[in-house]
Amino acid sequence: MINEILESIAKNLSCYSGYEVYVDDMEQGVTEPCFLLKFMRAERTPQLEGRYRIRAHFQIVFLAGTASAINDMSESLPFDVKKLDVSVTEGKETVTKTLNAVNMETHADTDEHTLVCLFDYLWTAYLVEGDPDYMLTATIETEVKNG
């Protein structure tokens, strides 16, 4: 599930033509402007009947190259991840679910030409028996609305 979320975020960020999107591990010598996308951590909270509430924390760092690009991106970047369509496999079919970002924070540093966007996605999942990476393979059970 985490991989599908990262792919969907990267796809949304690809609308900025000419800006590379690096996921998790970045190589030295990145070309600015670019996005660094990182899955930070996930937490699970037990619910009824084998369900778990998953909260996954993500970070996007925009390396702008110039201070003026920070101002433009600080207004548009949060909207690019606020509502995310994620394609997940449920049984034998692929379905699209919508996740809404919560706890979104944006921090701009015009001296360093960086913009950091922190946010979480929430969903309910069933634990897959015997799968140690349950958050990577979890199936979305419900959609979570901001509120």
Segment 12-30, tens digit of pLDDT: 898 887 888 988 666 677 8
Segment 42-86, tens digit of pLDDT: 998 888 877 888 899 999 999 988 878 887 788 788 778 888 888
In a domain, 146, yes or no: no
In a domain, 36, yes or no: yes
Residue 146 has pLDDT above 50, yes or no: no
Q: Residue 60, Cβ neighbours under 10 Å: how many?
A: 23
Range of the domain at 55: 2-137
In a domain, 143, yes or no: no
In a domain, 124, yes or no: yes
What CATH number does residue 107 fall under?
3.30.2000.10
Helix (H) or strand (E) holding 37: strand 34-46
Number of domains in the chain: 1
- 0.75 cut: is pTM over it? yes
Residue 64, token pair as written in the block? 């702008």
